[in-house]
Amino acid sequence: MRSLRAAGRTLVLLGALGASVAVGRHAHRRYESDMRRAYAAIEASATETVETSIGTVEYCTRGDGVPVLVSHGIVGGFDQAIQTGEGLLETDARLIGVSRFGYLGSELPEQATPENQARAYVEVLDDLGIDDVVVIGTSAGGAPAIRFALDYPDQTRGLVLIGSTAPNERPLVGPTGPPHAILNDPVFWLLVNHAPRAFHALFGIDRDDYRSASPEGRHRVDALLDTLVPVEPRKPGIVNDARVTNTAMVEHHDEYTLETLDVPTLVIHAEDDPLASFENVERMVDRIPDAEFLPYRTGGHLVFGHGDVIRRAVTDFVTST
C-alpha cells in the first residue's frame, strides 16, 4: 500500500497544481469542450435501468453471443465495463456492463455491499431474460464477482478475475481508494490529459514498458483513462468502494468460502501489482477447486504488456464454458 499512498500524494500535488493552471483561458475552454463531450457521450449511450430490490441499477448491453457480465473496477461505470469486455474477447459475446452502486446512473443504497451488488446483477439478468453468464471481475469489481459466483453458482457459467482483490484476514494498511481532493472534474480532467504518467505509476505501468508497447496496447491504457472522466457522477461509487467494497473481503473474509466455489475460474494477476496483493491472490487460487492461474512477473494492476496472450486465454475460457 506504500505505492498507493505515494501515488496518492503525487495526484494531490498535481491536482493542486492543476487547479491553478486550469484557470488559464485556453485550458478552461478546452476543459469545458471536453466535459461537454464526455457528459454527452454518457447521455447518448443506449443504457437501460431496472428497479431492483436494492435500488435503481443502470446497465448497457452490446453484441450477441455468450453472455458475459463485466464487474468493473473503481472509477468505472457501464462504459468502462463494456470497454473492458471488448478488450478482453476475440469472439462474439453479449456484453453486459452494469454501473455498480453509486456509479453514473446506479443508485447508492444504504447497504451497498458486494453481496447486494451480486443480487443486483441477478436482477439485471432477470430483466434481460438471461439464465446464466460468465462474470468478469476487475480490481474492486472482483469482490461482487466472487460473491456472485459463490451465491449464484447455477447462474455462473464461469468466473474470470483480473487484477482483482482477494479475501485476506490481515488488516489493510493505507488508503483503499483515491484521495478525495482529486475527485472533481477539473482536477481529474487535468490529470488524465496532462499528467497521465501519474495514473500509469498508480497502476504500476513502467514508463519504458509503456513507450515500447504496441500502439494497440498503449491505446487500451489511454482509452481506460478516458473512461475516468467525468469523475463527479462516479464519486459516490468511488467513495463506497474505498469504504465498503475494498474492505469487505478483509472484514468478512470468513464469509468468502472459496473451497465451495463450484464454477470454472480463471485468475490473471501480475506479481508487481501495486494495488491488489499478488500473495493474497495466490492464496485465493489455492483455495478454489477448479481454478486456472495465469501469473505474470510484470504488468502492474492492469497486467499491461500481455494483452494478446490474455485475450486468447479469456476468449478460450469463455467459449469453453
Mean pLDDT within 94-119: 98
Distance between CA atoms of residues 135 and 72, nearest Å: 10
Q: Does residue 246 surpass a pLDDT of 70?
A: yes
Q: Does residue 60 surpass a pLDDT of 80?
A: yes
Mind listing the pLDDT tens digit for each residue in 142-162?
A: 999 999 999 999 999 999 999
Q: Does residue 17 surpass a pLDDT of 80?
A: no
Mean pLDDT within 170-182: 79
Q: Does residue 136 surpass a pLDDT of 60?
A: yes
DSSP labels, 93-133: EEEEEE--TTSTTS---TT--HHHHHHHHHHHHHHHT---E
The per-residue pLDDT for 28 is 82
Q: Does residue 229 surpass a pLDDT of 60?
A: yes
Calculate ∠ Cα 175-178-184, nearest 5°: 150
pLDDT bucket at 22, cuts 50 / 70 / 90:
very low
* Cell numbers placing 58: 443502470
The per-residue pLDDT for 181 is 87
Q: What pTM did the predictor assign?
A: 0.91
Q: Given 3-state DSSP classes, what are the helix, strand and coil percentages for the chain, each rounded to the nearest 5?
A: 55, 15, 30
Q: What is the CATH number of domain 2-320?
A: 3.40.50.1820
Domain ranges of the chain: 2-320
The per-residue pLDDT for 169 is 86
Distance between CA atoms of residues 138 and 231, nearest Å: 19
Q: Does residue 2 surpass a pLDDT of 50?
A: no
